[in-house]
Chains A and B, each alone.
Chain A
Amino acid sequence: MWRKRTVKTARLNVKDGDLLTTLRDFFRSILRLEDISAILVPQHLPAKNVVMPTLVTDPEQLNGTDPLAPVFPLNGAKIVSRLTRKPMGAKVAAVLRPCEIRAFVELVKLNQGRVEEVVLIGVDCLGAFKNSDYIRIVGKKEEKFTSRFYKDALSGKKLTIEGFDLAPACKACENPVPNGADILIGLFGVDTDNQLLIQARTPKGEMLYDKLDLSDTEEPPERARAVEFLVAERTACRDKMFVETTAATNSLEKLNTYFAECVNCYNCRVACPVCYCKECVFVTDVFNHEPVQYLRWANRKGVIKMPTDTVFYHMTRIAHMSTSCVGCGQCSNACPNDIPVMELFRTVSYHTQKAFEYEAGRSIEENIPLSVFREDELSEVVGIGKAHG
């Protein structure tokens, strides 16, 4: 499985309680390193008031960097996959949320990205609003909004702003710490008015860490407690969501109702970081049925909902991707009709991943369940394995 290492930890002093400036300086120092050619980092776009991933090679172009803004319009794993799919002959650092790192780990296992030329920098995740909510509430406030948000979040205040709450996926996310990162930027349990935590979590991270001229320290004991508390809170929220979602979908009828508003736009699959098919089977000729077929279906029942194959589509996506679902919530984010796609995906994924003793994005060494053959798994389902009990 995965080895436990001694983690190199350093303190980064925060000037004037301004985390963003401190982080920008830190990213600049990384970009200035000889073997880092570019850094992928979320940034306020100058033209419009949104935060998007940017690929930066000029250290002076990091002024709008904002990894703490409570929004991520898309899961960055897809972007990192594009950058690393084939050798590019240079090394890039990528600043990502934990769920983005975990999705990237899945994509690497699916051969859609490579880790060799990327250093993953993960930031403790405070959560995010839905895209549309964020745009509504942020107004022109931008950075002020970010700093208000992270201060509230880190001091444990309620995060409801103007009636808008964090996205359901984030509220139910039990992975706020980017454990899979090469370099971790720690905020939880840290006196963020004065300092940040920088940790090297992999040999690759350590190599970078060593070049950054940081002063070693110990991880503050409060950190573990803070993380534990947060995870417990989120897990409770998650489990409540599982119960509610199960109740809402535990019959075919209810499932049909759940997806009643689906229009087959397939935005959820486009937004999904781990849905990696070049072209979804649902947009290929396989589902371009013969016209007479629709009539036959209608004939059988007297009435059918159009477009057809909506629940089938979601079930297929669950069948294909639930073992790799990292729960980032981008599917719900992308739905034009506010179907709670994430809720069902996470509920099912929790069970499928548990069945295979697998956790999406946990480790690059673990094989994706259906790609490995284990003679003794799921013996109660397959009827073999525990032979001669």
Chain B
Amino acid sequence: MKKKIGKALVVGAGISGIRAALDLAEFGYGVTLVDKSPHIGGVLSQLDYQFPTDRCGMCKMLPMVDRDTSSQYCLRKGLFHENIDIRLSTELISVEGEPGNFQVSLRRKPNPVDPSRCNGCGECVKVCPVEVPDAFNAGLSMRKAIYLPVPHAIPNTYMIDTNVCSRCGECETVCPSGAINLLEEARKDFRILVVDDELIMRDSLRAWLADEGFSVDMAASGPEALEHLAKQAFELMLVDIKMPGMDGVELLQRAKENFPDLGVIMMTAYATVETAIEAMKIGAIDYLLKPFDPDTLIPMIMRIYQDLESKKEPPMEVGALVLCGGTSYFDPAGGKNTYGYGIYPNVVTSLEFERILSGTGPNQGRLVRLSDGKPLRKVAWFQCVGSRDIQIDVDYCSSVCCMYAIKEALVAKERAGGALETAIFYMDMRTFGKSFQRYRDRAETEHGVRFEKGRVHSVLYDENSGDLIIRHVDSSGTDIEEIFDMVVLSVGQRPALGTTALAEMVEIPLNQWGFGQTEPFSLTRTNQEGIVLGGSFSGLKDISESVIQASAAALSASRIIHAAGGGLRPEMTSAKPYPDISGEPPRILIIVCTCRGLLSKLLDVQQLVRCLKTDPAVDQVKFLEQTCTVTGWETLVELVEKHTPNRILIGSCLPYVYARKIRELGQRTGLNPALIEAVDLMLGVRSSVLKPEAPSPDEISTINGELSAILGAGLARLKWADPNPAPSQKIVQQALVVGGGIAGMSSALAIADHGFQVDLIEQEEILGGNLNWIQRTLEGSTTKAILEETLSKVEKHPLIQVHTSSRVRTSHGQVGRFYTTIEDKENNIFALEHGVTILATGGVEADTTSYNYGTSKAIVTQKELEKKIHDHSIDPSRLGSIVMIQCVDSRQEPRNYCSRICCSTALKHALYFKEKNPEIEVYILYRDMMTYGFTESYYTQARKSDVIFIRYDVDEKPLVAPMNGSVRVTAFEPIIGQTIRIDADLVVLATGIVPILSKDLAESFGATLDRNGFFEEAESKWRPVDSLKEGIFACGLAHSPRNITESIATAEAAAQRALRILSYERMPAGKVVAEVRHSLCSLCERCVEACPYGARVVDPELEKVLVNAAMCQGCGTCATVCPNSASILAGFLDQQMFGAIDSALEGTA
């Protein structure tokens, strides 16, 4: 087993938290992943579809290397990873210590349902009398007090919302597996002393607390209380302040002297609140204001109980913390609420609309109004609800709403089979991501989504029809009144609840809008070393950006852990090899769990045994009461030791939770876990029995059939199971980074800092790339410091070998071993061997011939302007007017993408000119201002500084004509509806970014380019810096247009993804891996073409198709295209499949 050195705590198990946890776990660290809510996945558990595929795909984040350490199924359903300890309903309550060595305490909200026993049958829900709105469906439907937090989780165990549970006990009675225990046994050991001089007070307190299962003693005075304390240990004392003789405060003081760990709550009347507060200063935890009722008392006691209980556990030691607390959403019901949210039934938020679209939503995905069941025919989306609104002090863009609105419109249209009219009312469509512009264009041109520029002021409600009436002005300036079935408010993001408290606890700063503040040029590092941020906690990100940032955060955390001596994954200690049983005929022990005897009542046991024993491979069939309990499991182990089978089949429920147990069973009994299999018997029972207490003979026979079918399928798999693991692949633990700009340097440093050799190739004479000319950022940071700091670290690093004036000639190989030839300045050619490759080849400002560029010195590009400002060849005091034109040749074919940095560059320069010379007229001609995130505030600032923004249409571009020294710009100004002429001293063109990643270079490594020449990701959202071919990563401008900080984040993410491979000496293959039976292979190579992971090659010398077992992901496509099963997938042999099918058919026959 692997020894895990170094631990990290990831707070928040949304998409970012999962990514960061997986990255750290895959690197070999132990990770504790906590989330306040009872499920993982954050908001994504509620979202079924994501653009640009309009489907999910979250599972693509699961480990691909050494993937058997992790679950390999729908990630929205759940996650298991050997190195990740997931704690749900859990909060971080304190952090002590220093980077590399923090002590953290966690508080877990109790759940009266024991998840290891709950088999998800749902009997409890039927009897629960309490109904409350279901948060999962955004409150659009109801749920019981005992409920499934998400409908699709695996294992899907119930939990009780203790805040609303009436403790009637009905569920406890009906639970067939005895999983519910409303009165936690542990609470009996929690002794509370109630001290009050009033008997009635003492009695009612005792009754309330005893109801919750606590042990309660009473004392009528201070001295009596002290006597109790001396006799017996108490955890908590409730003390009335005003008592005759010794008052509460004195009692507190004296009790604390002798029992410093005793928790004390003061009870006080209004008049003595100040005394109570004073009491807290001398050690009371809290106070209760009399008179109070159980609703006030119990939650406080519970919180304190949990805190004191958690403190009993020693604090956990972790090297670093990754905070991925996510965001919450703007509630449009507050404020002026001109859209009538919460008042008009058919005005919903975007999150509510996602639930309406969902098959597990309140309408099961049917597109009808909840209020009256009317099918949706016409829906409007309003953008920027709670974003970009200075009136409510939200001077930022939420970055994600434009794209999710388009997605929702498209998914809704698809669902409606086209019979749905959609309109999106927007201020700027912020399509700044890689493929977003084309997605938006297709939505408009191919699918007919209507885009209406402008903010709608208010909504009117027609009470008779339930329809919504809005007024807006169309592009021609005409007032239009339109009726919609539904209005969806694209609500912006807000800091997550509890962000402030968390930030205060760990002492990190928040920005002016309450989001986590990171250091300059880093998206993840805070001013507290060892505490890093991931995802939207630091503001407003879509999935792909969150995933990139989470990987970068994992890297920052890993660096701290590593620097503190956390070390890397040590070699696997060689476990004793399992005995070879390949020559033995199968001798299978079948163990059937009867679920506390339930099954025995529903079965003809003898008949089942007879049926199973017709297979000569079956040696024994044994029945056990409960394999999920410790006792049950030990009995199972004894049976195995007694009968010494060479294969074991376990029939129980929830087979996926057995993965870990099976490995342990293998170790204890010396049987290879590959020869142990668990199947889900409950699947067969649940569907066929109506009354478990009195099954009819027909039902019994059906159940026998079902169970023998399920067990038979397991038998078929087990009989043919091959215990020999696929070969592991040796890794050259070195990296090659191509490109020495800020991204390339950052990734090289990140890898080298973890102790691996890196070769850094740069074709120019010096490192630094674009930072050699970019002077400062919009936010005002100068680039000089970061460039110099990085350069000096790179140059001094003993593990980084820099090759300037060098270029890659060719490369071949696969993950773990690439051979690359490099040509240096003197035309020497040398070869490098490396296990991973990072492409950081960068990008440049695009050339242009548009707008008469090149015909006048007064027409320059943004890059030229930056240089001229720096070398002072432009004097702001001598300029009268400047026109900046955005989107030059961009966001239109063939370069139909947003370069993302041009709008902020324009703002940066515009604000510079306005600062130097407020008299300069600055005009920015734009299509959509892409000031996403907090950049929005600079857009506001520019408008306040009288920079004039004129929107132009792509079909009606401005005209630029040089004329004696100045340049005449003619443009249509849509607000005044007239064509205007500006005679400018300077025209600045924003031409955008083009990548300089050559197709040949990318392809020689096995990477592909997208249609714009950028690196093509394995998956734009879930694997954003990986190539589909394992071992190749990209960052910086070669990956996509982005600013310096964002580029560095991609570099860190790419490094983290690479480190996950470099950490292995040999890269283990998965259990389910494809093989070739060469004697049957006709070399048609269809499997080679079909393999999506490039894991197959034809060896021309051997005349064989070879499989790289580490790259193979066990998808089985090769086995599917192979007509004669020459290509096979371990665990899915034809014999196993046929056996399973036969069993299923026999069971029903």
Contacts and interface: CB of A to CB of B under 8 A. Distances in A.
Interface in A253-297: 276-281, 284-286, 292-293, 296-297
In this complex, the interface size class of chain B, counting residues with CB under 8 Å from chain A, is: 35 or more
B1085 A388 contact: no
B614 A388 contact: no
A320 B54 contact: no
Contacts of A388: 54, 410, 413-414, 418, 443, 446-447
Contact of A279 (B443, B1080, B1133, B1134): B1080
Interface in B358-399: none
Interface string B1073-1097: 0000001111111100110000000
Contact of B418 (A292, A297, A389): A389
A300 B1123 contact: no
B850 interface: no
Interface string B431-461: 0000000000001001100000000000000
Contacts, number: 76
A276 B1126 CA distance: 12
A92 B284 CA distance: 100
Contacts of B1126: 277-278
A293 B1146 CA distance: 11
A277 B616 contact: no
B1080 A278 contact: yes
B11 to A, nearest CB: 37
Contact of A286 (B54, B418, B616, B1135): B1135
Contacts of A279: 1079-1080, 1124
A389 B1082 contact: no
Nearest to A384: B55
Nearest to B417: A389
Contacts of A292: 614-616
Given A320-B1123, A370-B1121, A388-B447, A277 B1146 contact: no
Interface in B1113-1149: 1121, 1123-1126, 1133-1135, 1138, 1142, 1145-1146, 1149
A112 B1084 contact: yes
A279 B1080 CA distance: 6
A111 interface: yes
A277 B614 contact: no
A277 B1123 CA distance: 7
Contacts of B1089: 371
A50 interface: no
A111 B1085 contact: yes
A371 B1121 contact: yes
Interface in A348-389: 368, 370-371, 387-389
A275 B1030 CA distance: 35
A228 B414 CA distance: 45
Given A296-B1146, A388-B447, A281 B1134 contact: yes
B1090 A389 contact: no
A297 B1124 CA distance: 24
Nearest to B1145: A300
In this complex, the interface size class of chain A, counting residues with CB under 8 Å from chain B, is: 20 to 34
Interface in A186-228: none
A300 B417 CA distance: 45
Interface in A84-134: 110-112
B615 A281 contact: no
B414 A389 contact: yes
A19 to B, nearest CB: 38
Given A111-B1083, A296-B1146, A278 B1124 contact: yes
Given A276-B1084, A279-B1080, A388-B413, A300 B1121 contact: no
Contact of B1146 (A281, A286, A300, A389): A300
A292 B614 CA distance: 8
A296 B418 contact: no
A296 B1138 CA distance: 13
Nearest to B712: A296
Contact of B1125 (A281, A300, A370, A387): A281
B1086 A371 contact: yes
Contacts of A301: 1149
Contact of B1149 (A284, A293, A300, A371): A300
Contact of B1134 (A112, A286, A293, A296): A286
A111 B1084 contact: yes
Contacts of B1090: 371
Contacts of B418: 388-389
Contact of B1123 (A111, A112, A281): A281
14 contacts: A111-B1083, A112-B1082, A281-B1080, A281-B1124, A281-B1125, A286-B1135, A286-B1138, A293-B1142, A297-B1142, A300-B1146, A370-B1086, A371-B1089, A388-B413, A389-B414
Interface of A: 110-112, 276-281, 284-286, 292-293, 296-297, 300-301, 320-321, 368, 370-371, 387-389
Closest CB pairs A-B (n = 8): A277-B1124, A281-B1124, A320-B1123, A388-B447, A389-B418, A286-B1134, A110-B1084, A388-B414
Given A277-B1123, A370-B1121, 7 more contacts: A112-B1084, A277-B1080, A278-B1081, A280-B1124, A281-B1080, A387-B54, A388-B413
